[in-house]
Structure 1
């Protein structure tokens, strides 16, 4: 995968103009790393090692189906008509034949999963990326992507407003653990690097360019 190749390259490519708050960002990064090493990573590893793979797959597929709803709205906002039709088809199939999304029947039928968030939508609309920032708990971001996170979170809250507090908390926890499990390989890369902060910053910014351009990064944006 191209993104993983980018992550394995040396990272001294980003000058201070993209990270003017580096000193504060590093403090937040260290806080996040300590929290992750002592709480989130152990939970993710225990989940991966002790929960049957079949159940893990059902949780992952259910989370993916919820994510498709957000992707669909952003594809419409970006005027990606064909992609939005594909994603809507995924939602309809997985929410019915897939039993509310716990089975990803759509992928088995050849309907490819795509990922779009409001940060990407803002980029397509022409909003500048803004400075790099490390958010407490949430991790790497930019001013543009932070705005996107807020909008996406509000949309997610709207989707789950019919659930009670216990159901909402359980759903959020399951999604968080599922995501953390998927990030375990990246954690291993960070631990092997001389400067995990630089690796995280560079890989995040490169991946965002990759996502915004749907994998077709223009030559002048290559790293």
Structure 2
């Protein structure tokens, strides 16, 4: 209940700060973006490179499948909040199969038997509820976001802490870092492509905003026509 109350306060804030310009904080955003790039070049990228080159692919798949199963739990909750009942039944089936036959999510058995994976987060849930996106922002370490999605990130992180409360500090930190490295490896092709653009920052912003529209509308964003 405390988390829900906090989320609604932040929702009100997101509505208040809506701006005509999608990126009114570009100067600050670029500064944080450069900070994130420095961290990536000196920490995340080198670690991800070693992880990808030296850890057997089979083990990398087990790590990815494990975190994918954890994400399904969050997706299930958001599908229920969005009243996507058929999708929630499908996701519950994935969790059930992968948590049992898939050995606590280490194997994605569900996908092999055609139980399709879906992804929903609290930012998408708020969009379905009618909460406006608000300005584009760049978060330290976490990267591209919006006012609405930053609220969603806060809720998601809080829920992950609740899920991981049975872990000690060392185990929780290890889990967090492993997820970060796994995510960086998955994002490598996209990041490499964006870096080849004329303006890495603009390309990243555009890619993020388009991806969020795609996610929110389940792959069918509305077509916007120019006024003549």
TM-score normalised by structure 1 residue count: 0.91
In structure 1, the partner of 2:72 is 68
Q: Which runs of 5+ in 2 are unaligned?
A: 1-18
Runs of 4 or more above 6 Å deviation: none
Q: Aligned to 2:181, which of 170, 177, 188?
A: 177
Q: Aligned to 1:200, which of 192, 204, 214?
A: 204
In structure 1, the partner of 2:45 is 41
Q: 1:221 to 1:35 in 2, by over 3 A?
A: farther
Instruction: Measure, in 2, the Cα distance between the counterparts of 1:204 and 1:221.
Output: 21
- Aligned Cα RMSD in Å? 1.4
Q: Tell whether 2:170 aligns with 1:166.
A: yes
Q: Which runs of 5+ in 1 are unaligned?
A: 1-14
Instruction: Measure, in 2, the Cα distance between the counterparts of 1:94 and 1:190.
Output: 34
For 1:44-123, what aligned pairs fall within 5 Å after superposition? 44-123=48-127
Q: Tell whether 2:141 aligns with 1:137.
A: yes
Q: 1:167 to 1:16 in 2, by over 3 A?
A: same
| Deviation readout 1:111-159 (Å, 9 max, x if unpaired) | 1111100000000000010000000000000000000000011111111
In structure 1, the partner of 2:151 is 147
| Deviation readout 1:39-98 (Å, 9 max, x if unpaired) | 101111110000000000000000100000000000000011111101000001100111
Q: Tell whether 2:22 aligns with 1:18.
A: yes
| Deviation readout 1:151-206 (Å, 9 max, x if unpaired) | 01111111111111111111111111111000000121122111000000000000
In structure 2, the partner of 1:211 is 215
Instruction: Measure, in 1, the Cα distance between the counterparts of 2:92 and 2:213.
Output: 25
Instruction: Measure, in 1, the Cα distance between the counterparts of 2:51 and 2:181.
Output: 8
3-state secondary structure, aligned to 2:224: helix
**Which stretch has the larger CA shift, 29-38 or 186-195?**
186-195
Instruction: Measure, in 2, the Cα distance between the counterparts of 1:16 and 1:181.
Output: 35
May I ask how many residue pairs the two structures share in their alignment? 208
Instruction: Measure, in 1, the Cα distance between the counterparts of 2:220 and 2:20.
Output: 26
In structure 2, the partner of 1:188 is 192
TM-score normalised by structure 2 residue count: 0.89
